Structure 1
């Protein structure tokens, strides 16, 4: 006997909808409404309870996939996560998708492909073969995502598509950098440096633009010498911080591309006998809590809206489908988390 024959035999032995209806003394249509969750306003609460009790007593299990194939909908989201599960703070995206989907009674199929583009394409095709209603491609960081051109029901989380017409949601990096720099300006700082990355990721240019725009908006001259470029490995962050502290006149504040670079500023400031925030105010970016909450004083930083983006996109897709979303990029604001690393300059 083949595996398929065994499965068919087992399915035939399982309680069916007609048996539930017979036990509950209702019609098959009524039992179907209750067990599919469509009974509100159509079936009395007493009758619904009787149907659910009957289903439990005889061990009825609804075949959601078969029901989905009959109706053309499975109430299932496919999530292709490109390296997301390897990034501590980006895991919030997956948490938000699962929570929002569960609240709507939807299930989620998740596949983390790392950063391999071809595997991502294969994963999307596999999701569709499993009859998912929509696919979310989630990027580990803000970047361009290759979206298969023949897939109509795909949206992009934390990235932008390589072709027009695909709904996407990303952090508003430029606005966040503007607000981080403006926070320092509001405290009275005018000699504000920016430590940035050399990796060429999209966020580098966007955050630099926000920094420059804030200076210009407050009539503070942009000084290229105060833009320190380097890597975010600890030794590279330390090297950037040393170049920052060697500037004359020394900046009184610094906006860092990420929290790891800010940690380098803390280390080098301590070695130079400088106090944070009295002698040097520091703002980070990302709010990677393993760093930001363990520095002394705690790091004031911009928090990426990973949870908020995923929550909004999941609910929008479930309620409206990709066709009901803006076919382009939606930018979501970041939030500044105030801790103890900024203060007015001593010369103010």
Structure 2
């Protein structure tokens, strides 16, 4: 780590002058050009000022830093942050939260801030299941809701494939055989491919021939959801059930089903993904969906970091999603009910990546 003396040498000033500038006490005591030179040298060398008393330099602060990426401003933040705060409190630790907004420069600044506060461990929280860049100099770090671009960093992710398989298996158990899937058109999104795989796996396991025409890709917004749903339902041989990439797309199916005079679940069963309460419990009928394990992932990762119990060697750990049965799924008309029980337990179930 760059020292204050190295910054002073690079800026051609005394250590005392550099300290005044970097501690914000240089006004009226150090000329503006000199202060600017010190700050430029500190930035170039990656200097991180210790924000705590010198006596804490070799002691733990019992603080967990949360480096979020557009998480704190999303509905998904609630469960993840709640779990981190609850677990940390129970273990006697403090939490320092920061959100980079996904901007690389802000992320670097956030990392420096966490280091300056001398947090003991860091949770890198991603907004959705994705690969994230973890700076080489970061240690005692783990990725929540994603996986790192480094092999030595533990990640925690939803088990997307198993969740999609269980969603479709639920529809199959009700007697549906013609099941559509509406998904995101951005195939670079990790969850898209994994959920498609689970959808196809479930059909294959049941001996149902997959009809590629029933796999619809579209925009991940209300307009895209409506367009995809219309393409799915406004055809001569529509499906009797639809598995949706997320609850927002399921809402689009509801809207288009109503426009076509279809009743849910009598004419069409619908199952979503996420269990975003703002949508799933406000649709009529309420939406059957797969619940993302945000709380479970965050709780486990926080405790593992604090208690130094992360998997060794490091790996990405996947967590089960629970099937939340509500009123949007039912047997198709004129089809026998062949329901079967499915266990739903939450917790780490092994590496996915």
TM-score bracket relative to the smaller structure: 0.7 to 0.9
Work out whether residues 140 and 305 of structure 2, in 8 Å CA contact, stay in contact via their aligned partners in 1.
no
Aligned ranges 1:14-29 → 2 under 5 Å: none
Q: Give RMSD over aligned pairs.
A: 1.8
Q: Structure 2 vs 1, CA of residues 86 and 325 (structure 1 numbering), >3 Å: closer, same or farther?
A: farther
Query: Matches of 1:68 and 1:172 in 2, distance apart?
Result: 40
Deviates more, 1:160-169 or 1:116-125: 116-125
Query: Which residue is equivalent to 1:218?
Result: 206
Work out whether residues 76 and 127 of structure 2, in 8 Å CA contact, stay in contact via their aligned partners in 1.
no
Choose from 128, 132, 149 the match for 1:141. Answer: 128
Query: Which residue is equivalent to 1:251?
Result: 239
Aligned ranges 1:188-337 → 2 under 5 Å: 188-200=175-187, 201-320=189-308, 322=310, 325-337=312-324
Deviates more, 1:232-241 or 1:253-262: 232-241
Q: Structure 2 vs 1, CA of residues 117 and 321 (structure 1 numbering), >3 Å: closer, same or farther?
A: farther
Work out whether residues 240 and 269 of structure 2, in 8 Å CA contact, stay in contact via their aligned partners in 1.
yes
Query: Which residue is equivalent to 2:162?
Result: 175
Q: Check if 1:152 corresponds to 2:161.
A: no
Q: Which segments of 5 or more consecutive residues in structure 2 lack a partner in the other structure?
A: 1-19, 21-51, 336-353
Give the TM-score normalised by the residue count of structure 1: 0.79
CA drift of 1:118 comes to: 3.1
Query: Matches of 1:67 and 1:305 in 2, distance apart?
Result: 40
Query: Matches of 1:321 and 1:186 in 2, distance apart?
Result: 39
CA drift of 1:66 comes to: 6.4
Deviates more, 1:116-125 or 1:169-178: 116-125
| Higher helix content, 1 or 2 | 1
Work out whether residues 316 and 325 of structure 1, in 8 Å CA contact, stay in contact via their aligned partners in 2.
no
Give the TM-score normalised by the residue count of structure 2: 0.77
Work out whether residues 144 and 162 of structure 1, in 8 Å CA contact, stay in contact via their aligned partners in 2.
yes
Work out whether residues 134 and 321 of structure 1, in 8 Å CA contact, stay in contact via their aligned partners in 2.
no
Query: Secondary structure of the equivalent of 1:320?
Result: coil
CA drift of 1:70 comes to: 4.2
CA drift of 1:248 comes to: 3.0
Query: Which residue is equivalent to 1:103?
Result: 90
Deviates more, 1:110-119 or 1:256-265: 110-119
Q: Which segments of 5 or more consecutive residues in structure 1 lack a partner in the other structure?
A: 5-63
Work out whether residues 68 and 75 of structure 1, in 8 Å CA contact, stay in contact via their aligned partners in 2.
no
CA drift of 1:234 comes to: 1.5
CA drift of 1:325 comes to: 4.9
Larger Rg: 1
Deviates more, 1:174-183 or 1:196-205: 196-205
CA drift of 1:199 comes to: 2.2
CA drift of 1:126 comes to: 2.3
Query: Which residue is equivalent to 1:14?
Result: none
Query: Matches of 2:53 and 2:276 in 1, distance apart?
Result: 39
* Aligned pairs, number: 285
Choose from 319, 326, 329 the match for 1:339. Answer: 326
Query: Which residue is equivalent to 2:103?
Result: 116
Q: Structure 2 vs 1, CA of residues 326 and 294 (structure 1 numbering), >3 Å: closer, same or farther?
A: farther
Query: Secondary structure of the equivalent of 2:111?
Result: helix
Q: Check if 1:131 corresponds to 2:118.
A: yes
CA drift of 1:164 comes to: 0.9
Work out whether residues 129 and 191 of structure 2, in 8 Å CA contact, stay in contact via their aligned partners in 1.
yes
